[in-house]
Structure 1
């Protein structure tokens, strides 16, 4: 199943495990790479640039397949040392980077000079077109169903993906609401060159999050997420739990960030993933959790997606076309 994405980025399957805070660690990324997909270490999960260098080296010890690093660039009162993290990526010889958050234009010359291909995550067509203009090699377009920050336009993937692919010339990775072979086939039909999955990869054997979190994802339905920070115009989709429900309730009465800051601290979300206390803080999960009913190995997941996608394309869809043409199938 080859696409412009697999050809350009040197991977076997058009499947991506995007960077996830506290989740994109070497053991998951290496398993994704060995399965023939593209995984990303999350740079800012590592406390320092030096720790990132060590994590990249640790991943290289586990796999000889291509993998990348995610660098999420967000406004902050005390921003991380982005230039130092960027230098750590370049000096480690990584050849694929996923950027997200703010415009990556200030970082692109450094990555390009080092021969690094860049995928930029976007939540709108206008942002994707701007990313193409500044020189990224591909975009990952996030529909409203996604975990994390879906933007403020509330456009779901069924509309956003074809709206993007009809205007962009570079490869497009479909993201948000995808967890199985049906989502892969649908994304390809909508014009995408591959799919990005976060929640689905988080719920695998090699994922470094606590088993209790994985079991909760399996138990949850597509209705078990909450949209927080809506009133602050910084919407985030997270799993429904005691904390996210409290945040939504406080926001409904009118709130400033200071009123909820103690509830949404990143350290509390890290506790969820590392200790398995699902009500310790907010934690990201997409609506695709309603499609997840097991905790496979990464290899089992990728193999299943590809084989079932081929069956859908050559079986059911081919049968529909043949039936329309009056051919016996």
Structure 2
């Protein structure tokens, strides 16, 4: 038995599980492992320093899997933005069939991808933005709750509210993102109207994730209380692992009058965050993690994780939920 949803049918995958784009983590190794496990693996476009590096990474991934995989293109505010159009061109030229977009003003890129027959899944943290993306012609939405790692938006609305709202208001299908890491979460997402789940933090804590074993073990030892919200005063909130650097950033933001980004920039450097994954020092820099840390208690392979999530969800749906529906005359009222 398998869980078949609009997501699995649209993408041609076995499990209704997507590995979200993750800076420094979404490499060919990560994406191919998830795809081989029956989910949808995703290469993070901007992890590659240039569009040509992305081209090489896509080709490298194809040597590791013959299953569907996608590419993430996140549009971030920046004084010197990356050449997004060139990254998008490489995605098209390399024949990628699925793209996860996120961030600001995706219209021109969605238009380009759709013109080339690419399935677009756009990640949103609010229903109003999801409705805009729907009007732009995306095939599917990824609805990202406040529990998520990375940027949860500024509304602080959890998935438990966003998902049923999405089911009421959206016409295109959607998947659930933020806070998912076990079969209970998958079953709940399906019950709330989603066609599957998107996981980032949980996939970081797998054997194949290209990060230090020490960081994975730190994640297993952590709880749902071990994340922090930075950049709140800068209106660009980010959920990260609660370490010494994150706490220093928060202290600077709490100063009278707030803080300018220039005051925290050296602390939140992407280069420092990348080195956390390489050297295993959890306090070396900022690194993203979601509240799902509280549900992580092992470091399985992607295959074991995906199979376990779907089998747990199937068991809950078939046995626990179905057993609650009984003829009225047999119910003990």
Per the shorter chain, which TM-score range? over 0.9
Q: Are residues 1:274 and 2:278 paired?
A: yes
Give the aligned partner of residue 291 of structure 1. 295
Matches of 1:310 and 1:294 in 2, distance apart?
21
Q: How is 1:9-88 mapped onto 2 (pairs within 5 angstroms)?
A: 9-88=11-90
Distance 1:12 1:324, change over 3 A: farther
Q: How is 1:114-193 mapped onto 2 (pairs within 5 angstroms)?
A: 114-193=116-195
Distance 1:231 1:325, change over 3 A: farther
Matches of 1:315 and 1:324 in 2, distance apart?
19
TM-score (norm 2): 0.96
Residues 60-103 of structure 1 show CA distances to partners (whole Å, capped at 9, x for unaligned) of: 00110000000011121111111111111111110100001113
Range moving further from structure 2, 271-280 or 128-137: 271-280
| Structure 1 stretches lacking a partner, 5+ long | none
Matches of 1:63 and 1:57 in 2, distance apart?
10
Residues 214-241 of structure 1 show CA distances to partners (whole Å, capped at 9, x for unaligned) of: 1111011000000000001100000010
Matches of 1:58 and 1:186 in 2, distance apart?
36
Report the alpha carbon displacement of residue 109 of structure 1 after superposing the two structures with TM. Answer: 2.2
Matches of 2:13 and 2:244 in 1, distance apart?
40
Q: Are residues 1:306 and 2:295 paired?
A: no
- Report SS of the residue matched to 1:227: strand
Matches of 1:30 and 1:238 in 2, distance apart?
25
Matches of 1:325 and 1:7 in 2, distance apart?
39
- Report SS of the residue matched to 1:139: strand
| Structure 2 stretches lacking a partner, 5+ long | none
Q: Are residues 1:264 and 2:262 paired?
A: no
Give the aligned partner of residue 238 of structure 1. 240
Range moving further from structure 2, 41-50 or 319-328: 319-328
Matches of 1:212 and 1:91 in 2, distance apart?
38
TM-score (norm 1): 0.97
CA contact (8 A) 1:149 1:234 kept: yes
Report the alpha carbon displacement of residue 323 of structure 1 after superposing the two structures with TM. Answer: 8.1
Aligned length: 328
- Report SS of the residue matched to 1:12: coil
Report the alpha carbon displacement of residue 190 of structure 1 after superposing the two structures with TM. Answer: 0.5
Report the alpha carbon displacement of residue 326 of structure 1 after superposing the two structures with TM. Answer: 2.5
Give the aligned partner of residue 114 of structure 2. 112
CA contact (8 A) 1:146 1:176 kept: yes
Which portions of structure 1, spanning 4 or more consecutive aligned residues, are displaced by more than 4 angstroms? Answer: none
- Report SS of the residue matched to 1:76: coil
CA contact (8 A) 1:103 1:131 kept: no
CA RMSD of the aligned region, Å?
A: 1.3
Distance 1:318 1:245, change over 3 A: same
Report the alpha carbon displacement of residue 319 of structure 1 after superposing the two structures with TM. Answer: 1.7
Matches of 1:177 and 1:117 in 2, distance apart?
24
